[in-house]
Structure 1
Amino acid sequence: MRAVRFAEYGAPSVLKVVETDVPEPGPGQIRVAVRAAGVNPIDVKVRSGSMSGGEPLAAPRSLGSEVAGVVDAVGDGVTDVSAGDAVAGWPIGGGGYADYALMSVYAAKPDALTWEQAAALPVAGEAALRSLRALKPGRGETLLINGASGAVGALATQIAVADGVTVIGTAGPANLDRVRALGATATTHGPGLADRVRDLAPQGVDAVLDAAGHGALPDAIALRGGVDRVVTIADPAAFDLGVPFLSGGPEDQTADVLRTLLEAAAQGRITPPAAQSLGLDQAVRAHELLEGRGSGKIVLIP
């Protein structure tokens, strides 16, 4: 089978399509023929070596932390799916950029969703749900979401609005209409954010989700009068400012979370991130686009 791997940290050009053995599912695992694989900022960080701590790469590594595909084989103990079923979820070991991937956490893909839509939901959707669980915005409260036009921010906005939360969402000038379409009050990010938000919410904001970074945390802290109910998934300055950085982990990646997201999308309660599709052999281009920002969600199609 084909898989995208890299043998050294560096620019997108280190990504190579190689031929490798088709993996065999172990106990509790399934193998899927990948129909779409999401490309995410974490992939860029892993490939570039920014998370390596300066250590060299010990062996070639794969990428891809969300996929949708058709069950191809099942391991011992798997009884909830069988060959031919359509599923989406998180591939084991981040090996989603490939013709086949192994999975142990997955959920059925609704017929109403395309492969691209299903593959675009697990990472961003889980991050959105995790952030909202941490902040617990309630009906009638006001939530500021920095980066409301991005994949995570847009999903968090839709979920919060549906729960009766008033959302103020930031975005670049070109994406303000998109944020309004999600049900939020839109404003631009950047210098003067705190003053603009005070004009829109003179009663104050009850919580802040920073889904974009770009130095918004000082304004968030000023608006809240401290770090209470301020979280980020994007700005490492959080560690110096005393703001929780919600990085997530395997314990957050559950089949229940997947079912919640996929069913909500199938029923039209949330709209999956609009995805640009590229071929598996265009992984380098996908990373170039992602690093250039403003490209939106990208999925690879084997």
Structure 2
Amino acid sequence: MKRFALIGAAGYIAPRHMKAIAETGNNLVAAYDINDSVGIIDGHFPDAHFFTEFEQFDNFVYNEGRAGRPMDYMAIASPNYLHDSHMRTALRAGSDAICEKPLVLWPADIDALVDIEKATGRRVHTILQLRLHPAIIALREKVRSGAQDKKYEVDLTYITSRGNWYLKSWKGGVEKSGGIATNIGVHFFDMLHFIFGDLQQNIVHVNEPTKAAGYLEYANARVRWYLSLDVNDVPDDLREKGQRTYRSIMADDEEIEFSGGFTDLHTVSYQEILAGRGFGLEENRVAIETVSHIRHAPLAPLTGEYHPFAKRG
């Protein structure tokens, strides 16, 4: 049984980490969050220590290590801009880190973490759950076994509507979340790289607080992408039925269906990490370079290849 700590216990994604720790037969020893709405802990680990001040959490972890009871892993589900700092905390405490997406906001942060890995002998593992989805793995194998110069025509559309609270939270601040392409798109960009190979071109057509769009070209795909938090972008027929989300990935006019089992992939991710097959720092580099470029790229005119939703006002 491995000993876990969790940073960001009150966040949206934290319950998936608690569930994964429990389902892999391990123990959550300590958790931290500045917010105290963490009753979800009782469903899995009622004996876990909980802290609302980081200094107290850090002191507890330190003393546990001195007593010969170090945390084997620290799971990090804090706001995006804190991931880098919290991973450094984990590594220096003698723990491996398991970090949510996006790993960091800037590619240079990966280089610094590589150095700390070498100095501490501990590792960073990341949650890139789409790489573990059977449908994604099958498509990757299809691409790899086909003609090496084939370019798939891909349309990625992801609309996940959010209320007014979103822009008031840390997620609405580019300096904290990285913006929409980073906060809700980075795992899709990692998936595209995982399936279709090296990134060759990155053009941005729309970059607003609630929507972004652009064109990406990979070794084996031309991708038109659109991300949105605006419920009005959900297709009319679906919105009239009360649907507030819409997710579609078309490759050569064939839908890639990966909704099934999506929420269970955190447990699979933990199983892979514990078995020594997790994804490390370098697996994240292309996706982080992609979103950091999107964040500051000049907008290109709507000519050539662009997602049809990009024309929406």
Whether the TM-score (by the shorter chain) exceeds 0.5 is no
| Structure number with higher helix proportion | 2
For normalisation by structure 1, the TM-score amounts to 0.38
